[in-house]
Amino acid sequence: MIDLHTHTLYSDGELLPAELWRRAQVMGYRYLAITDHVDASNFDMVFARLKAAADSLNRGELPYLIPGLEFTHLPPALIAPLAAQARALGVPLILVHGETLVEPVAPGTNRAALDADIDILTHPGLITLKDAAQARERGIFLEITARKGHCLANGHVARMAIEVGASLILNTDAHSPGDLITRGQAELIARGAGLSDNACQSMFNDAESLARRLAEM
């Protein structure tokens, strides 16, 4: 299993990084990214803590831990400059909390995120075809999620991405140990979103390529 969107107690998750890593290890994860919620007030501090966790845990055992950030509920105009600051700090993986159906995310967040230097737009809700095309042009992944509530738009996100050829990724958005899933469960979620067997395999292959690239940074 490759999961590039999870949270620890450095934001609103329940576990320390090492606890989450160990539980993912038991479930057969090969790559795990911790991407706690951040804004202008804390992104540097959170990344320092997650990088320290990755440095301590990446000693040859799987899963390989990737430190990242999820910029969350920002005014859209702040997304690009904060993402640029995070890159300058050395953050390898940047997510933006998209316009999910179940939270009051500011309108325009999806578009602002897709214009910024980010890697994944998480649970982007009723993303437009135009924005999905922008994701394809920028090489930004659109997320299908296992997370309750956020998953309500999975089918729509999948359809928009497939229509324009944008890359999809399936993550858990885990906040507690019970949110972690197996590869088999991930395949069922992908099929539930309407992906064919070939599209599922392509998505998992793309996730593998992204995770390997991040691990080499």
Domain of 22, CATH number, reads: 3.20.20.140
Copy the structure tokens of residue 155.
């089918």
The pLDDT mean for the chain works out to: 98
The average pLDDT across 119-128 equals 98
Residue 197: the pLDDT is 95
The domain tally of the chain equals 1
Per-residue pLDDT at 128: 98
Q: DSSP assignment of 34-99, as one string?
A: EEEEE-TTTHHHHHHHHHHHHHHH-SSPSSEEEEEEEE-S--HHHHHHHHHHHHHHT-SEEEEE--
Positive or negative, the CA dihedral 152, 156, 162, 167 is negative
Give the tokens for residue 182: 């197996």
Ramachandran angles phi, psi of 198, nearest 5°: -65, -40
pLDDT given at position 86: 98
Please, which pLDDT band fits residue 20 given cuts at 50, 70 and 90? very high
Output the pLDDT for position 33.
Answer: 98
126-140: pLDDT as tens digits = 999 999 999 999 999
- Alpha carbons 151 and 115: distance in angstroms, whole number: 24
Only one residue has tokens 């953050």, namely: 91
Phi, psi of 151 (to 5 degrees): -75, -10
How large a percentage of the chain has pLDDT more than 70?
Answer: 100
C-alpha of 65 from chain center: 14
Give the model confidence (pLDDT) of 133-178 as tens digits: 999 999 999 999 999 999 999 999 999 999 999 999 999 999 999 9
Calculate Rg over the CA atoms of the chain. Answer: 16
DSSP 136-202: HHHTPEEEEE-STTGGGGHHHHHHHHHHHT--EEEE--BSSGGG---HHHHHHHHHHTT--HHHHHH
Q: Residue 11: which domain range? A: 2-215
Under a CB-based contact definition with an 8 Å cutoff, are residues 7 and 175 in contact?
yes
Q: What is the pLDDT of residue 31?
A: 98
pLDDT score, position 34: 98
Tell me the pLDDT tens digit for each residue of 45-97.
Answer: 999 999 999 999 999 999 999 999 999 999 999 999 999 999 999 999 999 99
> For 56, phi and psi rounded to 5 degrees?
-80, -25
